[in-house]
């Protein structure tokens, strides 16, 4: 109100906006599609699957609706489905029987362990699909840690030596990309050297460059059978969730050691890290939409609190908006089906 108690005349919308009406391009589906800034496609998807010993064996994972542990023959059939849907790559994670686990995770070096069996079965069935394998020891250790435990301490260099040997065994089985998730210092350089020395110069490395000590891994630990085993926590080797600059230093070091691509894990709580990595290093950058993120969307949808398909697609669009070149997600086959219409 002015000093004379009169209300000034209202300005028109054109006077306020300068004739710039941003809603013009939102008025129809065709115009929204025409100006869409980021686009999710099937080429952005990597499908993580869990493998288990046996034949024609399929076990549900209670905390991850619709996700199963699969024997290598069934994993190969799912790889055939992935290829039909156009999914470029599969990432495999093993469930190892307790009798095969020990303090050093030595079974990871067995050329006939379940992860290598699955790789061979998938490559035989679908040679054109990419296979990404993880050399971390947690599915193979009796204590659930990602490295060798000595007197209550995860020993770095001894663990790295085992990881390098395991990477060669996985490459020999047919893995296209080695993706070490253990967060040991120096493991990227050691794996690169070992692969090159064994003649696997064309096998790439996707570094879990920034893997955080997160609360969102719970369902995954059920899936690989480490949830009840873990003594203590993984904070001495995973990154503190509060740290951004440390995440950049970790990534810079992995790139210097020979990483071909980098990953952020978990995904949605760390979109700021995804964007900073992409802007800083201009490297192929991926995110892992982890089991806890997947389970939360399922749980909320089952309670009627959100629309399942819309939430799933919106969450994946966030990774593209943050600069990711692709995403590891358990939603991959459902999303691929939706994208194909």
pLDDT (tens digit per residue) in 158-211: 999 999 999 999 999 999 999 999 999 999 999 999 999 999 999 999 999 999
Dig out the tokens for 206 from the structure. 């996707």
Dig out the tokens for 229 from the structure. 């085993």
- What is the distance between the alpha carbons of residues 69 and 61, in angstroms, rounded to a whole number? 7
Collect all residues with Cβ–Cβ distance below 8 Å to 273 and sequence separation of at least 6. 210, 244, 247, 264
pLDDT at res. 97: 93
pLDDT at res. 258: 98
CB-based contact 333:81 (threshold 8 Å):
yes
The verdict on whether 211 is a catalytic residue reads: yes
Q: Which residue in 117, 234, 265, 320 is the catalytic one?
A: 265
When the pLDDT of each residue in the chain is averaged and rounded to a whole number, the result is: 94
CB-based contact 166:250 (threshold 8 Å):
no
- What is the distance between the alpha carbons of residues 58 and 71, in angstroms, rounded to a whole number? 7
Q: pTM for this structure?
A: 0.93
CB-based contact 281:317 (threshold 8 Å):
no
pLDDT at res. 6: 77
pLDDT at res. 3: 53
- What is the distance between the alpha carbons of residues 256 and 193, in angstroms, rounded to a whole number? 13
Catalogue all structural domains in the chain, each as residue range(s) with its CATH number: 39-339 (3.20.20.70)
pLDDT at res. 332: 98
Partners of 60 in beta bridges: 68
Q: Which residue in 117, 211, 234, 278 is the catalytic one?
A: 211
Helix H or strand E encompassing 23: none
Length of the chain: 341
């Amino acid at each position: 109100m002015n000093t004379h108690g009169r209300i000034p005349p209202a300005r028109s919308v054109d006077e306020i906006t300068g004739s710039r009406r941003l809603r013009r391009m939102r008025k129809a589906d065709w115009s929204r599609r025409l100006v869409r800034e980021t686009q999710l496609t099937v080429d952005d998807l990597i499908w993580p699957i869990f493998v288990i010993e046996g034949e024609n064996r399929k076990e549900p994972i209670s905390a991850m609706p619709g996700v199963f542990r699969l024997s290598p023959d069934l994993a190969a059939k799912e790889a055939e489905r992935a290829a039909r849907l156009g999914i470029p790559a599969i990432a495999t994670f093993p469930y190892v029987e307790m009798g095969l686990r020990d303090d050093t995770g030595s079974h990871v070096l067995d050329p006939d362990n379940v992860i290598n069996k699955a790789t061979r079965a998938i490559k035989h069935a679908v040679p054109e699909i990419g296979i990404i394998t993880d050399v971390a020891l947690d599915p193979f250790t009796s204590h659930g840690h990602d490295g060798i435990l000595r007197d209550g301490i995860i020993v770095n260099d001894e663990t790295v030596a085992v990881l390098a040997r395991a990477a060669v065994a996985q490459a020999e089985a047919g893995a296209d990309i080695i993706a070490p998730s253990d967060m040991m210092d120096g493991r990227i350089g050691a794996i690169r050297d070992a692969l090159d020395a064994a003649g696997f110069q064309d096998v790439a490395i996707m570094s879990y460059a920034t893997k955080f000590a997160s609360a969102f891994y719970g369902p995954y630990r059920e899936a690989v059978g480490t949830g009840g085993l873990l003594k203590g926590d993984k904070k001495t080797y995973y990154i503190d969730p509060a740290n951004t600059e440390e995440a950049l230093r970790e990534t810079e070091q992995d790139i210097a050691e020979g990483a071909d691509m980098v990953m952020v894990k978990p995904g949605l709580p760390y979109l700021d890290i995804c964007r900073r990595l992409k802007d800083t290093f201009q490297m192929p950058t991926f995110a892992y939409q982890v089991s806890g993120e997947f389970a939360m969307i399922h749980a909320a949808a089952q309670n009627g609190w959100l629309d399942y398909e819309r939430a799933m697609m919106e969450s994946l669009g966030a990774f593209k908006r943050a600069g990711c070149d692709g995403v590891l997600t358990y939603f991959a086959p459902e999303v691929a089906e939706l994208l194909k219409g």
